[in-house]
Structure 1
Amino acid sequence: MQTTVLIVDDEPDIRELIRLYLANEGYRVLEAADGREALELTRKHEIDLMILDVMMSGMDGMETCAKIRERQWMPIIMLTARTGDLDKIQGLAVGADDYVTKPFNPLELVARVKSQLRRYKRYANAFTLQTNLLSIGGVTLHPEMRQVWVRGQPVHLTPREFDILALLFRHPGVVFRSEEIYERVWGEPMLTSNNTIMVHIRKIREKIEDDPKNPAIVLTVWGVGYKAAADSHPVRHD
């Protein structure tokens, strides 16, 4: 799967410069002109790394980084025209992984991108070996093996059903709108209102819930969307 990098900067020329260098290295590149647009893109796409400008109008880079860290842990490289140590310390404190000062050498930035992705991949692989199972209320899911068990018994889910359940299990207690689930799982916007997600949720419940009409694992938040029960926990895999 192609690695996706999100560039967040209110200067189009800066975004274009970075995009050209990253695209030349084979990365898929998304762009945002401000923090709010960046947050929206992280909800719609799987982002592997973010390059985030500090000084932007509206929601600046510091606030954007802090909000990203409430839900996601992709590497974040912050860009800034400031050179003071206090600004760097503040950026690292809110969750940034690296700091690059403008003006910058694009080749150095690409090298830092590669370094951060390697580090996160090593961390993710080590973490996956220890905690690669997710369990809620007797339902256990293995994301990499794409298998599901209900109280130890294997259950067959279709690919779409599995992807929906995996999304909810990875974010226990987080409510996802139907449109957001569709965009993440199908990888495209849901252009019209339909009951596709509702039908898939019903089929998932029929396969994993003790009482599908009174679910305890995949919950409906009326008027908003769906969530997994918040008692999810990783199961050690030795």
Structure 2
Amino acid sequence: MVINNALILIIEDEPEIAEIIGTYLSREGFRVITAGDGTVGLAHHLRLRPDLVILDIKLPGRDGYEVLAAIRRRGDTPVIMVTALAEDLDKLQALRIGADDYVVKPFNPLEIAARAKAVLRRTLGRGSEKMLRVGSLTIDPQAYRAEVESAAGPVMVDLTRTEFRILSHMAAGIGRVFERSELVDACLPEGEALNRTVDSHVSNLRRKLAAAGADGLLVGVRGVGYRLDNIHGQ
């Protein structure tokens, strides 16, 4: 999995911060481009197709939440939020929209570089991943697509990135119980290590699967964690 020479777009309205982040990323071999507001950042994203976006929330023009939502509508470019907003609600909102990681200012630039590498390792090189099937559910890791087969045909399950990661990770181990801590390490952004956050994502995932016709596929194991139950999915 190659991450050298990846293109990273920094959308940050404070030039000093953008320069610091860019300098450290460049030292690690990444190519860097910057934008000072959300509108320009989205234009760069559309034109240049970066491998990763580092995104502030408080931006002139379109704020970070709007930019993140627009990027998600276009595809699955990984996004790291870098912001002074430190409340859990701010983090949860960003993660629910589809952020891959969330870093609070002030920060160590070395940490940004390390997190960028971690996110790129998770997101680049997915071409070798195969389709996963669990009963009536089919998961395509390359397309970030999940469908439930019904009598009327396939039903798309509209998932966030984190929900999709959790589902794919568990689908690789049918019948096995996954502890919350394992799901945090494997599927949630670095620094977002709250068990209640996992429970929230799993609850939303279970509800969406049920709505698509796969009720009972994802089950909880009291005091331990969760598992995908193939019997209910058949």
Q: 1:111 to 1:43 in 2, by over 3 A?
A: same
CA distance 1:70–1:13, shift in 2 (3 Å)? same
Residue 28 of structure 1: aligned partner: 31
Q: What residue number does 1:44 align with?
A: 47
* 1:132-211 matched pairs, under 5 angstroms: none
TM-score by length of 2: 0.53
How far has the Cα of 1:131 moved from its partner?
8.3
Shift of 1:122: 4.8
Q: What is the aligned partner in structure 2 of residue 56 from structure 1? A: 59
**Aligned residue number for residue 228 of structure 1:** none
Give the letter for the 1:43 counterpart. L
Q: Distance in 2 between matches of 1:123 and 1:91?
A: 24
Sort the Cα spacing of 1:127 and 1:69 in 2 relative to 1 into closer, same or farther, 3 A. farther
In structure 2, distance between residues paired with 1:84 and 1:127: 38
Deviations 1:43-70 (A, max 9, x none): 2112100000011122000000000100
The 1:30–1:92 alpha-carbon spacing in structure 2 relative to 1, beyond 3 Å, is same
Match of 2:154 in 1: none
Q: Give the gaps of 5 or more residues in structure 1.
A: 134-238
State which of 17, 20, 28 in structure 1 corresponds to 2:20: 17
Shift in alpha-carbon separation, 1:124–1:79, aligned structure 2, 3 A: farther
Deviations along 1:143-168, one digit per CA (max 9) or x if unpaired, are: xxxxxxxxxxxxxxxxxxxxxxxxxx
Percent same amino acid among aligned pairs? 46
**Which residue is 1:180 aligned to?**
none
Verify: 1:106 aligned to 2:109, yes or no: yes
Which of 1 and 2 has greater Rg?
A: 1
Residue identity in the other structure for 1:12? P
Partner Cα separation in structure 1 for residue 61 and residue 25 of structure 2: 27
Tell me the residue number matched to 1:166.
none
Q: 1:104 to 1:58 in 2, by over 3 A?
A: same
- Once superposed, which parts of structure 1, at least 4 consecutive aligned residues long, lie more than 6 Å away? 130-133
Of 88, 98, 101 in structure 2, the residue corresponding to residue 95 of structure 1 is: 98
Residue aligning to 2:177: none
Query: 1:20 corresponds to which letter in structure 2?
Result: T
Alpha-carbon contact 2:127-2:142 (below 8 Å) kept: no
Q: TM-score, normalised by structure 1?
A: 0.52
Q: Which consecutive residues of structure 2, in runs of 5 or more, have no partner in the other structure?
A: 132-139, 144-234
- Of 99, 116, 120, which residue of structure 2 is paired with 1:117? 120
Residues 37, 61 of structure 2: 8 Å contact kept: yes
Q: 1:80 aligns with which of 72, 79, 83?
A: 83
Question: Which AA in structure 2 matches 1:61?
Answer: G
Give the aligned CA root-mean-square deviation in angstroms: 2.3
Alpha-carbon distance, 1:12 to partner: 0.3
Name the CA distance, whole Å, in 2 between partners of 1:10 and 1:127: 40
Q: Distance in 1 between matches of 2:100 and 2:130?
A: 18
Rounded Cα–Cα distance in structure 1 between residues aligned with 2:128 and 2:5: 17
